[in-house]
Amino acid sequence: MNSPVMTSDHTLIEVDAREGAASAGNQRIVEAMNRRYDAGFVTDIETDSLAPGLDEGVVRWISRRKGEPEWMTEWRLAAYRHWLTMIPPEWAKLRIAPIDFQAISYFAAPKEGPKSLAEVDPKLLETYEKLGVPLHERARLAGVAVDAVFDSVSVGTTFRKELAAAGVIFCSMSEALREHPDLVRSYLGSVVPSSDNYFAALNSAVFSDGSFVFIPKGVRCPMELSTYFRINAINTGQFERTLIIAEEGASVSYLEGCTAPMRDENQLHAAVVELVALDDASIKYSTVQNWYPGDENGVGGIYNFVTKRGDCRGARSKISWTQVETGSAITWKYPSCVLRGDDSVGEFYSVALTHHHQQADTGTKMIHLGRNTKSKIIAKGISAGRGQNSYRGLVKIEKGAAGARNYTQCDSLLIGKQCGAHTFPYIEVKNPGAIVEHEATTSKISDDQMFYCRSRGIAEEDAVSLIVDGFCKQVFRELPMEFAVEAKKLLEVSLEGAVG
Amino acid sequence: MVAGFLEPLLADGVARQGSQSGWLAQVRTRALEQLIRDGLPGPRNEAWKYTSLRAIGQRRYARSDPAAATRPIDANLLDLPGVEGPRLVFVNGGFRADLSIIADVPGMELRSLSDVLEAEPDSLREFLSRSFDNAEDAFARLNTVLASDGVVIRVAAGARIVPPVHLVIAGAVAEKELAWQLRCIFDIGEGAALRLVEHHVGENGHGHFGNVLSQLALRANARLDLLQVQNGAETASLTRRTEALLDAGAHLEMRSIEVGAQWMRHDLAVRLNGDRSRFVSRGVFALRGRQHADTRLDIRHSARDTACDIVWRGVADQRARGVFHGAITVESGADGSDAQLSNKNLLLSDQAEIDTQPVLEIHADEVKAAHGATVGQLDEGALFYLRSRGIGPAQARSLLTLAFCRVAFDSIENGVLREYLDALMLERLPQAADGDSQTKSSQ
């Protein structure tokens, strides 16, 4: 992802102001960014960059650079030390080329973006056209930015005022650590501990930024929150950390990601998302992920290794995950719900598509602890080309979860001879009052369906997208409306060339 | 280095086995080396996620029963109503000619493994050269190293054997706790048919560790009807690995009833290697006390138009734990495959646990594959229906639980055998005892 300014620890408005001041000195920034550093790190007034490599010094530097309190630095260091003792997970059905963690720069200033749309890859522009992305947004998404951002900046500012009036805190994680340190401290790592897994530990040590959302007691967030409009969240880099807290009776719908393809130089994204829902609160978290999937031959592309977990801490709380995963070379994510509060509800709706050489190992975990907790899992996997798509899920009913209920449905659709679709559900039940149901099917688009469509004059590709759309409908209708429309188009674009 | 469980068993290296052919010695030495290198799988081994080997791993068993040939055993245990035909009996891992009934059935060769190994070991090379290269198959390796006896059944091409062959694997009380090994080979020739009953029984009061490795080869268009009744001693431990290879048009029909043993693990690996081969499995486990049963199915479709149809039921009561893993893999090129698996479970106590994991791995696109798994309780509506017809609550539960389990064997045509299995199941079902006492007390 390219962005013209260093944004990771500045608020939206600051970015704006800074850009104005620095525009004349753009050349200097570029020079500074292009400078080669032999070892260690360099601090520059205009821009900062870390040479590749990771040690305690790097972790301390990131923390200091962001002006974090002492406890935060220690928290990061503890995570880093724990990470050193861990080994990368190997259980997923993924072929992952070894990652050299010392070759990654953990705090890199953004690279220089194209100067105008004319310099942007025409293929990318073609895709925006098909997705119907508004013109001024195309430039921003392609990383042209600077002028084109202005609209969004003002939009963002308007949002902030309205949200502040409702008492909602919606800001970057860095800002939250400065403005609301106690709030962050009491919740950060409480859902995904820094030692949770290999990538979560790495994220805890080096995360650069992310979003922080706090909905106070009884407040229904007046609008759908989205990183899309928050300019400073866009270039939070490869290690994003999101924390959303809904207090008693609060509710919020949060949309992460973007339907347009993002060009990103980063190879590894290891994000962590933590959700906390107190009594009667509800959080809806929707993701549309379309990172660069690599080319037709499987070269390049993003490793998307994400830990997402929601804690239904309060009674009658509800957390709902919806995800549409079409991008990334490798996806490894399992948005989960810990159903701690009695009568709490967890939901997971997912569409995962793999084409060409993409691999996805995704699913969810529903951990039922409280009484009468309910969970529902709808997972749809589509494999095309040489794509490998796995659903991996755990439904665990603990002893105390009397009256717990789970329903899981996993369907896979195969398009082509060389793809694979796999289902690995784990069901563990320790309470005799629970009811757990799992069903899964795998099939290709039936010849009958195709023939029916073709006989009515529908072109082959259109027929496929029609059928795929029907296949995914249960998930799409959980998405906010405008994104459902885009998600549908996104599948069409992603499946291009899959048939015939 | 090996310790605990393996140490006394491996102390003397590979067991003597017939006239040691060069190739056979090689296979067995290799298994021994692998076993010494890897030991028993730990909890991080995915295949042993739900079944801990810690307790077993600390126990020490004697390597064989020196008195197996004469060990007295209750003859009533060996009978299975409705099954009358050739009978092969093994007690504590040793073949018992005195208890066996070996009739001369045309088209079928029925011998002990030691016998075949002595005379013509190379005729079994196809089977015995099998090596186990995954650390999770520790018990198959152990069997390779130690098994010196077992059974060999070969059915000639085209022969259709009518009387069912009754294979009895029994455990008897001995001076020491034993770890015994059996290797069984079933080779069903082209177009041949066989009915086989694998029957595990045991006298209570012994804590032997039984380890059975069975290999089934079904040649083109062969058919095998296999009934497994596992009613081992409640104090015993039993691990089994059954491997079946199906050629074109072959049909394996299996029914499994698992009620015995304190600790039980069954690995069932089926390879649908020939076009149009078909595997049908009906099974049930009913557990109580502190029983632990782990059934692991691994079905692989490697040829076109192959089919599998699997229905398993599980019941766990008291402090029992039932584990079911049903994996179906459709390999690339296995177009026209049809794979169906259903696993339903009843959890009857808050101390019991059920873990189920149906897995689908699909690498071909002309495929129909589906699986379903549930864990729950008896249908309240059905209970109410029975209650409204004057049936007591315990009896109603018992009736419904039996009906739930019966799926495993209700298609058996042999009425006498089916009734016996009904009774066996009813006796094992937890609600039955309550039902009887309630009925009695109300009378």
Strand partners, A305: A332
Q: How confident is the model at residue A29 (pLDDT cuts 50, 70, 90)?
A: very low
Which residue, among A375, A442, A444, would best test binding to B if mutated, counting the most B CBs under 10 Å from its CB? A442
Q: How confident is the model at residue B18 (pLDDT cuts 50, 70, 90)?
A: low
Backbone angles phi, psi at A94, to 5 degrees: -135, 145
- Give the distance from residue B60's alpha carbon to the nearest chain A alpha carbon, in angstroms: 31
Question: What CA–CA distance (Å, rounded) separates A152 from A154?
Answer: 5
Question: What CA–CA distance (Å, rounded) separates A293 from A356?
Answer: 9
Residues A439, B368: C-beta atoms closer than 8 Å: no
Q: Is the pLDDT of residue B438 over 50?
A: no
Which residue, among A412, A426, A435, A464, would best test binding to B if mutated, counting the most B CBs under 10 Å from its CB? A426
The average pLDDT across A225-238 equals 50
- Nearest residue, CB atoms, A443 vs list B357, B361, B367: B367
Q: Give me the percent of chain B exceeding a pLDDT of 90.
A: 79
The pTM of the full predicted model, rounded to 2 decimals, is: 0.86
B9-13, B107-111, B289-293 — which is least confidently predicted? B9-13
CA dihedral (B7, B13, B19, B25) positive or negative: positive
A294-308, A324-338, A391-405, B195-209 — which is least confidently predicted? A294-308
**Cα-to-chain-centroid distance, residue A348:** 14
* B400-418 pLDDT, tens digit each: 999 999 999 999 999 999 9
Question: What CA–CA distance (Å, rounded) separates B344 from B327?
Answer: 15
Q: How confident is the model at residue A493 (pLDDT cuts 50, 70, 90)?
A: confident
- Give the distance from residue B354's alpha carbon to the nearest chain A alpha carbon, in angstroms: 5
Residues B370, A439: C-beta atoms closer than 8 Å: yes
Q: Strands B209-218 and B94-95: what pairing?
A: unpaired
Chain B residues whose C-beta is within 8 A of a chain A C-beta are: 46, 50, 332, 345, 347-350, 352-377
Q: In the structure encoding, which two tokens stand for residue B370, read together?
A: 């589906």
Residue with tokens 């508004």: A134
Q: ipTM score here? A: 0.88
The average pLDDT across A348-373 equals 95
CA-nearest residue of chain A to B352?
A: A430
Strand partners, B270: B244, B299
Q: In the structure encoding, which two tokens stand for residue A359, read together?
A: 């691999």
Question: What CA–CA distance (Å, rounded) separates A443 from A195?
Answer: 39
Q: Is the pLDDT of residue A416 over 90?
A: no
Q: How confident is the model at residue A256 (pLDDT cuts 50, 70, 90)?
A: confident
- Give the distance from residue B140's alpha carbon to the nearest chain A alpha carbon, in angstroms: 24
A8-22, A156-170, B172-186 — which is least confidently predicted? A8-22
Burial of A384 (0-12, 13-18, 19+ CB in 10 A): buried
CA dihedral (B256, B259, B261, B266) positive or negative: positive
User: Where is pLDDT greater, at B239 or A298?
Assistant: B239
Q: Strands A41-42 and B193-202: what pairing?
A: unpaired
- Nearest residue, CB atoms, B357 vs list A397, A414, A426: A426
Question: What CA–CA distance (Å, rounded) separates A213 from A253?
Answer: 11
Q: Is the pLDDT of residue B316 over 70?
A: yes
Radius of gyration over every alpha carbon of chain A, rounded to an integer in angstroms: 22
Q: Is the pLDDT of residue A447 over 70?
A: yes
Maximum Cα interatomic distance, chain A, rounded to a whole number of Å: 70
Residues A443, B46: C-beta atoms closer than 8 Å: no
- Nearest residue, CB atoms, A431 vs list B350, B360, B373: B350
Q: How confident is the model at residue A131 (pLDDT cuts 50, 70, 90)?
A: low
Q: Strands A374-384 and A405-415: what pairing?
A: parallel
> Residue A290's pLDDT is what?
80
Residue A210 CB neighbour total at 10 angstroms: 24
The average pLDDT across B151-160 equals 96
CB A389 within 8 A of CB A360: yes
- Nearest residue, CB atoms, B363 vs list A420, A427, A437: A420
**Cα-to-chain-centroid distance, residue B10:** 25
A40-54, A191-205, A299-313, B88-102 — which is least confidently predicted? A40-54
> Residue A266's pLDDT is what?
55
Residues B366, A444: C-beta atoms closer than 8 Å: yes
CA dihedral (A61, A65, A66, A67) positive or negative: positive
